[in-house]
Structure 1
């Protein structure tokens, strides 16, 4: 199969659009291998195969959050190139991840260029703030990065796909058996890093028994994905009941919080519900578009607030200019939970416009003091816990090649996070700083995180049993039938021991403080070397099974 210019251009355009990061709640959806593989399948005319390839690549990036804007892997490039090369070359799907990882690491450098180039619009916005040029600030926030990123992302991806995809496929098809075995077994090992990263992020060490429970349940019973999820929910519910029985429940909203809302509803307002909703909409669109090394989300914060600031200070150009300038200072948070800060700042700016003695230092202090705590909560709950759980829920469906898997995942994740965004901006605006105290000190958040961690650990165990496959066909000669190290020795003790050991060793390596980049290179090196030799997989240039391996 050949890739046409039109197909390469359409795929490159998708990669560019996903890289622009327009609409905060869609970032992880569009850039994830599941949704990327669906688009590749539509363009290449083989949706089921593409979805199955995406399901093989996705576990590697389960816990990928890009906290602070740092991009180590480009998961969109991994999904797009892995799918395209595998389908065009007619390769074994187990080789897709081995192809995808080096490409992902290489394309991640494009995001470094993106954040360097985005320094210019921040500096230009500073100049526009002095003259109250709000249209110029909006252009620099939204359109300048989008246009610039066409050259950074679309053109390199088009060239790579059109001139390189088929060539890579032909090269791999002509490799000797021991090389393809090395590529295949490495592709089966690499998902262990994704699972290890996720259990390192969402689960404390005392939750490891839940991981082991899910792993051995899947190994011994062969349970499917949906029954596994239901079992995990049951276990998490039991854990919640235990927490309820051993701790005193904190009220979701104390009397002080209710009084704050009641007082707010009775107070004077310049802003309407429509104004607040407009800020929610603008922040969703712009939050990550102009992210730069200079001040990260400062430009998007300011641009989202432009209609609010114009309504409050539009009659006073000097005050409007000062307001624009103070919201171009450094800002960075998680875009959903962190939007509580937007609501609080909106309320403070409104009171200042009404004549209340609200110093600008207090507004800047609220932003600086709250953006970090809410970033930690949001990254933990939404992107390190909820996102992996939703992916795990649909992965069994994706493994069967169903196009519904990425659609269900997208609808759930986008729906939940957009609803959260709306709620947090409104609650921040209505309650002011009381909202931050209620959320940060509420005991329910910790219980929710703990129960979600239990569910996540259980699901991680069950899915790693099927999606990580470390095995050997090495046999020990005997006077009769050769003894298989895998089936006659290891599986006789417990099935999946090599897989379990791989995941736990990577987990231990990460907990020791080593980076995921080093872990990636170690897994690549070990998989390729041991696969080429024949210690792992179906035989290499040095070791071959004495008898054909069992199917």
Structure 2
């Protein structure tokens, strides 16, 4: 990997950290985006997108709820895709390096947030005096510190650790490679399961089946299992619609002959 490529990959990882505070919530940290950018930098956009999409499926359910810390999928996905492309391997290598990096960088982010808390008392006093320029200064200072740290650490890993990454990949025995390949296939399922655990409701199950069957049988002949599943889902939806309709009560009214005449 050249010096320029390592610097650019470091910038991609750094942008995933500051995009929420500086650029708005652009989802720049998503692996499918960072995979595309890393692929552009390393000259293999197609493979970068493929590996990024596989990591995206794995991390679909990795959401931070409340005060819980979220994995740093931006840096993990960036370094994971870069490691896979430079070694000529696939998603198994991206997962092997991306997941530990995501955990480690989240720990580093927590340390930085703790250090930044020292600025809060100063910012509060500046707000009391309506010194908005000083508040903006601290805001951008924090962003610059984040960008510098993430870019520097990613650059060090990719430029000076590239040979070490290739050595680790080459030293892995065949059974370890087979295991990592199996894990790369299973982890997207885990990501979907985590996501469904958050959003799934009983009334959404038939729609999930209807969406899953065409995706599962694309390019293939629809089997009897798929047909029965679709029929079951449609029957479930019809049943839910009919049972949700509350019948309106009608009162028996009697009309006199004079009323009919009017």
Mapping 1:400-479, distance limit 5 Å: none
- Alignment correspondent of 1:63: 61
What is the CA distance between 1:214 and its match in structure 2? 4.1
Mapping 1:24-43, distance limit 5 Å: 24-26=24-26, 29-43=27-41
Query: Structure 1: which 5+ residue stretches go unaligned?
Result: 224-230, 249-551
Aligned positions, number: 231
What is the CA distance between 1:209 and its match in structure 2? 4.6
Mapping 1:228-243, distance limit 5 Å: 242=241
Alignment match of 1:200 (pick from 182, 197, 200): 197
Looking at structure 2, the residues matched to 221 and 44 of structure 1 have their Cα atoms a distance apart, in angstroms, of 32
Looking at structure 1, the residues matched to 74 and 107 of structure 2 have their Cα atoms a distance apart, in angstroms, of 13
- Alignment correspondent of 1:433: none
- Alignment correspondent of 2:177: 180
Tell me if the contact between 1:114 and 1:152 (Cα under 8 Å) persists in the aligned partners. no
SS of 2:25 mapped into structure 1: helix
SS of 1:67 mapped into structure 2: coil
Q: 1:131 to 1:201 in 2, by over 3 A?
A: same
SS of 1:118 mapped into structure 2: helix
* Greater Rg over alpha carbons, structure: 2
Looking at structure 2, the residues matched to 69 and 111 of structure 1 have their Cα atoms a distance apart, in angstroms, of 14
Looking at structure 1, the residues matched to 176 and 193 of structure 2 have their Cα atoms a distance apart, in angstroms, of 26
- Alignment correspondent of 2:253: none
Q: Does 1:148 align with 2:127?
A: no
Looking at structure 2, the residues matched to 38 and 247 of structure 1 have their Cα atoms a distance apart, in angstroms, of 51
* Aligned-CA RMSD value: 2.9
SS of 1:30 mapped into structure 2: coil
Q: Does 1:113 align with 2:111?
A: yes
Q: Given the two structures, how large is their TM-score scaled by the length of structure 2?
A: 0.77
Looking at structure 2, the residues matched to 148 and 127 of structure 1 have their Cα atoms a distance apart, in angstroms, of 22
Tell me if the contact between 1:110 and 1:153 (Cα under 8 Å) persists in the aligned partners. no
Tell me if the contact between 2:12 and 2:78 (Cα under 8 Å) persists in the aligned partners. no
Displacement over 6 Å in runs of 4+ = none
Q: 1:173 to 1:4 in 2, by over 3 A?
A: same
Query: Structure 2: which 5+ residue stretches go unaligned?
Result: 221-229, 248-262
What is the CA distance between 1:57 and its match in structure 2? 0.6
Looking at structure 2, the residues matched to 130 and 206 of structure 1 have their Cα atoms a distance apart, in angstroms, of 51
Tell me if the contact between 1:33 and 1:80 (Cα under 8 Å) persists in the aligned partners. yes
Q: Does 1:191 align with 2:191?
A: no
Q: 1:131 to 1:82 in 2, by over 3 A?
A: same
Looking at structure 2, the residues matched to 86 and 212 of structure 1 have their Cα atoms a distance apart, in angstroms, of 34
Alignment match of 1:135 (pick from 133, 147, 167): 133
Alignment match of 1:88 (pick from 65, 80, 86): 86
